[in-house]
Amino acid sequence: MIRVAILGATGYTALELIKILLRHPEVKITALTTRQDGSPHVSSIHQSLTGRLDIRCEDLSPAQVTERADFVFCALPHVASMDVIPALLDGGCRVCDLSADYRLHDAAVYEKWYGHKHTDVDRLATTIYGLPELWSEKIPGQKLIANPGCYTSTSILALAPLLKGGWIEPTGIIIDAKSGVSGAGRTPKLNTLFSECNEGVSAYSVGYAHRHVPEIEQVLSDSSGRPVEIIFTPHLIPMDRGIIATCYGRLTKPATEAELLAAMREFYAGKPFIRVVNHLPSTKDSAHTNFCDITVRVARGQAIVIACLDNLIKGASGVAVQNFNLMCGFPETTALLP
């Protein structure tokens, strides 16, 4: 039985993580943290957990966490994560970091996009990016994994096969992505109020402006071996959860849908959470699951790849448990299927 701590237990990501881990036969949740006063019971923060988990959320130091836990899911904001992760690792914990702090290899890129100097540069350069469908063989031995962002996973899973196979040009790629509101977090803000979001769609961070852009480009470049350039436009959709990425890439040569689907199926052979489908998927099909549904169409020299996943599960907490399973030697699908 692995003793697990979750840092930053009040958000939606942590809630999903808890629900998944409650189904995991090899896990005992032994610590939850928050900076809120008074060590509130987890069920007072997440009413849906009433009667399911009897533990308080406490303001714990890294040292206290390492005493109680073997494995830490770090769901803290960026910067806060790199402030504690070195101590957690030094204390003997393995860590899956759900923040952006260890995703980019290059400290200068990190500083440019996140506005903070990186304080753990050596580790940054070597931490494995935890997208098991690309690098499942690199994850098992790791002490620290950088868990992917939700837009990032959707975009990369959509495009990696065709880029790797040389089917589409690596530049001029357009990713038009649409996300449910839970992706914006649980901190009260005007733009995520019900009455602001409901009955409305809008784009945000348009242009070369969203922090997931360098992450997507780095991973797709690493994966395909060529420098990839994208235009990424995120939209906020009046739904709770789900992301759909509609991606446009210029074909390098004439190709049929059947050929592209076959290439995708080959790329993802043996990957239990990728469903390459013939139909046009809805985000609803993969909601509340760890699946990612992908398909492709061809028109006028472009491949149009569409990928859907649940932003809180396959886009955050589900893939985190996938990484946990691989790091700890459990079957990859434990607690995630069926």
* Catalytic residue set: 150
Among 6, 9, 12, 316, binds a second copy (CB under 8 A): 12
Q: Which is nearer to a second copy, 125 or 201 (CB)?
A: 201
- The residue from 190, 253, 256, 329 that contacts a second copy (CB under 8 A) is 190
- 51 belongs to the binding site for a second copy (CB under 8 A): yes
Shortest gap between Cβ of 142 and a second copy (angstroms)? 28
Binding to a second copy in span 298-327, by CB under 8 A: 298-300, 302, 304, 306, 308
- Please give the residues from 160 up to 189 whose contact with a second copy meets the rule CB under 8 A: 172, 174, 176, 178, 180-182, 186, 188-189
Whole-number Å distance between alpha carbons of 159 and 197: 29
How many Å apart are CA 67 and CA 3, to the nearest integer? 10
In the complex, minimum distance from the CB of residue 180 to a second copy, in angstroms, rounded to a whole number: 8
| CA proximity to 14, closest of 69, 63, 77 | 77
In the 8-state DSSP scheme, what is residue 61? -
# residues near a second copy by CB under 8 A: 74
Contacts of 40 (CB under 8 A, 6+ apart): 34, 56, 57
**Is 48 near a second copy (CB under 8 A)?**
yes
Min CB(191)–a second copy separation in Å: 9
Neighbour tally for 316: CB within 10 Å: 26
Say if strands 243-250 and 302-309 run parallel, antiparallel, or are unpaired: antiparallel
User: Tokens 């004439």 — which residue?
Assistant: 254
Task: Restricting to residues 197-256, name those near a second copy by CB under 8 A.
Answer: 197-204, 206-209, 229, 231, 233, 235, 237-242, 244, 246, 248, 250
**Token pair 């992760």 is at which residue?**
85
